Amino acid sequence: MTRLVVVGNGMAGARLVSEVRARDKDVQVTVFGAESWQPYNRVLLSNVVAGTMVPDQVRLLDPAWYADHDVTARLGVEVAAIDPEAKVVTTADGHAEPYDVLVLATGSEAVVPPVAGAERAVAFRTLDDCQEILAAASEARRAVVVGGGLLGIEAARGLAGRGLPVTLLHLAGHLMERQLDAEAGLVLGETLAGLGVVTRTGVVVEEILGGGVRLADGETVEADLVVLACGVRPVTGLAAAAGLEVARGVVVDDELRTSDPAIHAIGECAEHAGSVYGLVAPAWEQAAVVADLVTGADKGARYRGSRLVTRLKAKSVELAAMGETHVDEASDTSAEVVRFSHRARGTYRKLVIRDGRLVGAILLGETAAVGTLTQLFDRGGPLPGDRAGLLFPGLAGAAVADSPVRMPDAAKVCQCNNVTKGQIRACWESGARDVEAVAAATRATTGCGGCRDAVEGIVGWLCEQEGVSA
């Protein structure tokens, strides 16, 4: 009997364990989680800060799941060392666990900038961090969030939604500079301003004080609560100490094996072909590959990398960014760029096209084009000649692929879980009459949650067609 040990019980580790059990009930599975919580959906923590969800609603597995599926889960237990020669992991409390296959799913840790007084702030990364932020927010009069990336924006929007005046401080010249160009960053900042978040870009935080933040130019921004969202770094110390190859992350091949063939790595701690992925969809794709290999369900399974679609999960802010979004149009003549900007309405749309195929896009503000463009980007298929119809579905007779009527069954609705419209239709035909039932059967909506409206639309349309109640 294969002894599988998983180090890390977050979104990648928990998914791997469930994928293994779905394929094989005989593999002996032991999982260690440094956090004492049941595995939870880290992507939805901003909803907990905003108060639109409670911790129980972001849980990935029911507490009884482990016993029901014969999985040994040691929560709140940190693995301190790996002995690759003996094939044993040792925990901080001295327990030794042997393995035949070891999977590292240690994830990432929050980056805390080396500024004076950093201990006075709260890093936003875990459910414990959420609870600390919420406790402080209940008594605070104003808040500062340091970091204008995805997580920082979600934290700032969540706190503003609780009625706190929020100032968002960002070192770069515009928000989400990795995913957005300067104009999109500007439009996003203006959208946030309308929701109670004041954005300051191009500023350097020099010290965190008891009552706020001091900037490099000497200015003090007052705050009772300071939240750090300055990025994350892969947790690789355990792997490095065991002699595994480590670069930015734990280096893996297409089988997600490390430099030791008995050890795999998945999720945010893994580096594949030079890329470390910080989103949930790649982690879950990797978990499926390793589950196939460990159980023998598909010995030919390989991971070839992921095409990333970033979705901002903040109430009243619609944003999707994918692929290549930064193009030097003055020098790069091979790229065709199509854009539309309407700052007064908080709308910005940009397509980057090469050889007649979509290689990048930014979609900010309410737009019916998100589903269509995500499908075109994901498939890499040829684009229609009417570029305006891509940005404005419905104009000049353009097909609206987001409409459940016209969306092909092969269209991918849930990017995180690779669920198509056809799968949702089949699920509905088997008796699933609401989103929760579809989610239980397909896992659609259980990742970033960005596809929930689309799934609701498809289920509603199917019910309407058949004259049944949703």
DSSP letter for each residue of 409-431: TT-EEETTTTEEHHHHHHHHHTT
446: closest CA among 132, 7, 14?
Answer: 14
β strands within 285-346, DSSP E: 309-314, 317-323, 336-342
- Amino acid 399 reads A
Q: Are 184 and 362 in contact (CB under 8 A)?
A: yes
CA distance 11 to 466: 37
pTM value is: 0.88
For CATH 3.30.390, the residue range(s) in the chain are 324-402
**pLDDT tens by residue, 115-174:** 999 999 999 999 999 999 999 999 999 999 999 999 999 999 999 999 999 999 999 999
> Which CATH number applies to 404-470: 3.40.50.720, 1.10.10.1100, 3.40.1180.10, 1.10.3720.10?
1.10.10.1100
Q: Which is the CATH superfamily of the domain at 118-230? A: FAD/NAD(P)-binding domain (3.50.50.60)
Q: How many CA atoms lie within 13 A of 131 on its CB side?
A: 7
pLDDT at 453: 75
CA distance 119 to 278: 25
β strands within 210-356, DSSP E: 212-215, 220-222, 225-228, 232-234, 250-252, 263-265, 270-272, 309-314, 317-323, 336-342, 347-354
CA distance 33 to 126: 13
Measure the CA angle with vertex 76, ends 73 and 78; round to 5°. Answer: 95
For CATH 3.50.50.60, the residue range(s) in the chain are 3-108+233-295, 118-230
**pLDDT tens by residue, 45-104:** 988 998 888 888 898 888 899 999 999 999 999 999 999 999 999 999 999 999 999 999
pLDDT at 232: 94
CA distance 382 to 374: 13
239: closest CA among 95, 10, 83?
Answer: 83
Q: pLDDT under 70 in the chain at which residues?
A: 367, 394-407, 465-470
Alpha-carbon distance values, 297 to 17, 104, 294, 304 (Å): 14, 20, 8, 18
Residue 424: φ, ψ to 5°: -65, -40
Q: Which CATH architecture has domain 3-108+233-295?
A: 3-Layer(bba) Sandwich (3.50)
CA distance 304 to 295: 20
Alpha-carbon distance values, 254 to 177, 192, 361 (Å): 30, 40, 27
pLDDT at 136: 95
DSSP state, 59?
B
**Per the structure block, which two tokens stand in for 260?**
């030791």
CA distance 94 to 89: 10
> Which CATH number applies to 324-402: 1.10.760, 3.30.390, 1.10.150, 2.40.50?
3.30.390
DSSP state, 293?
H
